[in-house]
Amino acid sequence: MSSSAISTQNNGRRKEKIRRLNRLYFADYVMIGLGLVVIMLCITPLLNLAAKSLSSADALVAGKVFLIPKGLNLSAYKMVFGNSKYVHSLWYTALLTLAGTILSLTMTTLCAFPLIFDKLKGRWIFNIIITITMFFNAGTIPNYLLMVNLKLLDTVWVLLVPFCLSVFNMIIMRSFFYGIPISLRESAELDGASFFKILWHVYLPLSKPVIATLALFYAVGRWNGYSDALMYVKKESLFPIQLYLYNIISGMSSMEVAIQDGYSTPGLSGTMKAAVVMFSTIPILLIYPWLQRYFIQGVTVGAVKE
Amino acid sequence: MATKNTQTPVGAPTKGRKALVYLSRYWQLYAMLAIPMVYFLIFKYLPMEYIVLAWKKYTFNTKLWDMEWVGWKHFIKAFNLNAADWGQESVIESLKAILRGDFWLAVRNTIMLNLLDLFIGFPVPIIFALVLNELKLKRFKKVVQTVAYMPHFLSWVIIYSLSLQIFATSDGFINQLIGWGVQLFTGNKFDGIRFLSDPKLWVCVYILVGIWQSFGWNSIIYLAAITGISPELYEAASVDGANRLQKMIHITLPGIRPTIVVLLIMAIGNIVGSGFDRPFAMRNNDVMDVANVISTFVYTRGILNSQFELSTAVGLFQSVIGVIFLLGSNWFSKKMGDRGIF
């Protein structure tokens, strides 16, 4: 009896404490308000774009579209998906991203894993070779001339290979590998496992978080990148989606000037451009929130020096 | 017996044997490393050979080392040193003439945009992290975080297109809102503010959009640093009667000071560096005077106009200054007692 009375009393005190902690004061409402402002600032541009892509051309030209579509219709999306070039670019970039991510992850792992072994002779040489590239870059033109010389211009490879390994990402992975207990690796070595086996059966299964993070970084990098294609690729069929978009949009910006001077009103194309941009953003918007826990870890690990 | 003693006993490792044993086990690691090392050598070190182009005359279909040496000609041309007439004019006049060159304009723009990013953009993620840290509703905090990370995942092309939708003169979101307000209250027609074609306003848009893209992402590191602060400090402060603002100023901020210092020094180290994607996507013909930075200058001159030698020289200049700044800032941060970055 008495013990249960004490526990209810304790419970009551704890609840009181929790209630006090959870009570919202004026300052909390200010913070919530600021949080709402941040949310608004971040999503308003996208909402505006979405509304424009779903509106009728007339409403757009009349300048009536803010956050809610006016004269709701899907014609822009129909036009966009009827455009074989755009659809091709979308699929092509998806494949490119997949291939690039796999290649990059493989390279990053192959570089990071051997470097965690203290016993590896000559490790300092490899470390120096890698570190120098972080500080000093040959520059745009030397890189370009190298691509010319390797006959990589206007091929798919130039979009996959030259930037496939990021030293920054390699350091993130290496730090993660360092965090895996050495005893696991040593007992596997005692059992006679080869290093390939240790990597495949011990390290990789334990490294899912960092692999997910780096996959996201590499995939986003490839999906969003356009400068390599701008410099190295002239064939339109090899353009990744962002370069394709850039060409469409910078076309629009010259029309903008035209509207200002009052000679043309590209209404439908306005909604179409909104639709095109909207659609190439959606894949990333769908993926990144699910990986949030992982990439936060990744960023933090990369920032903390071992 | 005695003769046997001078020999190494059977099975005891000699130097060569030791190496063999070592290699028989460790060759796999070298095999793994070989692939990335070949990558580094081909794609990071091989292009360095072409840097000599800065002192050569580029001739098509000729081996690099067979091209004619021309000395510092390209540097002189890039730095616009010929514009000065030292004998005739005063030093200041001569310097002014030199600095009128395209290259110095690009240097000025690079440093100006980076400094503005630093002064205006640097504190934003810190403030945001502090605000997030004060949010008690966990669910809501998570939503705010997720939404704030979103812009980091958009490409600069898409961000440019969004900024057109928002800031365009005739049908941009902001101008429409203002125009709607003006019409409502005064009945006049509103011409629109030229956010993207007026150089000064364009710089503001460029900086704002940069902050918008990165503040959430950059706050991650500060949030992690805040998590690392011992809760006992807060408890002790509460016992002493500190309020939330005082705790923020006297515990949280000093707690993340090392992180702030490291990131600040890193940002200063990158002050002459310039990405390509952001300035190239954001610029337009009306604002070239403020939008052309070194990276876009090299691209236009080098790849579009095929002035390989001059662009190589400019690129080299930027790389060297960049390395000096990076090493210098790192040295400085070590000197300050904080850990270096590298």
pLDDT tier for residue B17 given thresholds of 50, 70 and 90 = confident
Could B148 and A42 be called an inter-chain contact, meaning their C-beta atoms sit closer than 8 Å?
A: yes
pLDDT digits (tens, 9 = 90+) for B298-330: 999 999 998 999 999 999 999 999 999 988 888
Q: Which residues of B touch A277 (CB under 8 A)?
A: 158, 161-162
Task: Give the integer Cα–Cα distance in Å for B333 and B265.
Answer: 7
Per-residue pLDDT at A266 = 47
- For residue B342, the SS3 value is coil
For residue B2, pLDDT beyond 80: no
Please report the number of interchain residue pairs, chain A to chain B, with beta-carbon separation below 8 angstroms: 266
- Over residues B251-265, the pLDDT tens digits come to 999 999 888 888 888
Q: Which CATH class is domain B102-335?
A: mainly alpha
| pLDDT value, residue B290 | 93
With H, G, I as helix, E, B as strand and everything else as coil, classify residue B56: strand
Smallest CA–CA distance from B302 into chain A, residue = A141
CA separation for the pair A219, A284 (Å, rounded):
9
Nearest CB to B315 within list A121, A141, A199: A141
Q: Give the ipTM of the model, two decimals please.
A: 0.87
> B10: pLDDT confidence band, cut at 50, 70 and 90?
low
| Mean confidence (pLDDT) of chain B | 87
Contacts of A35 in chain B (CB under 8 A): 131-132, 135, 140-141, 144
For residue A274, the model assigns a pLDDT of 85
Residue B226 reports pLDDT greater than 80: yes
CA distances from A114 to A195, A203, B79, B255 (A): 9, 12, 45, 35
Mutate to test the interface with A, among B30, B43, B191 (most CBs of A within 10 A): B43
- pLDDT number for residue A306: 34
| B145-190 pLDDT tens trace | 999 999 999 999 999 989 988 898 877 888 888 888 888 888 777 7
What pLDDT, on a 0 to 100 scale, did the predictor assign at position A264? Answer: 41
A119 and chain B in contact, CB less than 8 A:
yes
Q: Per the CB < 8 Å rule, is B144 touching A38?
A: yes
Query: Percent of chain B at pLDDT above 70?
Result: 94
Looking from the CA of B288 toward its CB, the CA atoms found within 13 Å total: 7
- Give domain limits for chain B: 102-335
Which residues sit opposite B69 in a β-bridge? B56
Number of H helices, E strands in chain A: 17, 0
Is the Cβ of B222 closer than 8 Å to some Cβ of chain A? no
Between B132, B170, B303, which is nearest A144 by CB?
B303
pLDDT of residue B126: 96
In this complex, do A256 and B164 lie within 8 Å of one another by their Cβ atoms?
yes
Interface membership of B171 toward A (CB under 8 Å): yes
> Which of B28, B286, B339 is nearest residue A194 as measured by Cβ atoms?
B28
pLDDT tens column, B98-143: 888 889 999 999 999 999 999 999 999 999 999 999 888 889 999 9
Contact B28 A195 (CB under 8 A): yes
Cβ–Cβ of B147/A42 closer than 8 Å?
Answer: yes
Q: Which two tokens stand for residue A293?
A: 């826990």
What is the reported pLDDT for A302?
56
Mean predicted confidence (pLDDT) in B71-80: 90
Residue B324 contacts A where some CB pair is shorter than 8 Å = no
User: Cα–Cα distance between A287 and B289 in angstroms, integer?
Assistant: 39
Predicted pLDDT at B45: 95
Ordered DSSP codes for B170-232: TT-HHHHHHHHHHHHHT-PPP----TTTSHHHHHHHHHHHHHHHHHHHHHHHHHHHHHTS-HH
Q: What is the pLDDT of residue A151?
A: 93
Identify the closest residue of chain B to A67 by CA–CA distance.
Answer: B173
Mean pLDDT of the region B206-211: 96
Give me the domains of chain A, ranges plus CATH numbers: 2-61 (no CATH), 75-303 (1.10.3720.10)
Q: Which residues, 6+ apart, have CB-to-CB distance to B86 below 8 Å?
A: B94
With beta carbons under 8 A apart, name residues in chain A contacting B169.
256, 260
Q: What's the pLDDT band for B91 if we cut at 50, 70, 90?
A: confident
Q: Compute the residue count for chain A.
A: 306
Give me the average pLDDT of each 10-residue run along chain A (306 residues). 57 68 79 94 91 81 76 80 84 95 97 93 94 89 93 94 93 90 91 92 92 92 94 91 86 43 48 84 89 83 50
Considering only CB atoms, A277 lies closest to which of B37, B161, B197, namely: B161
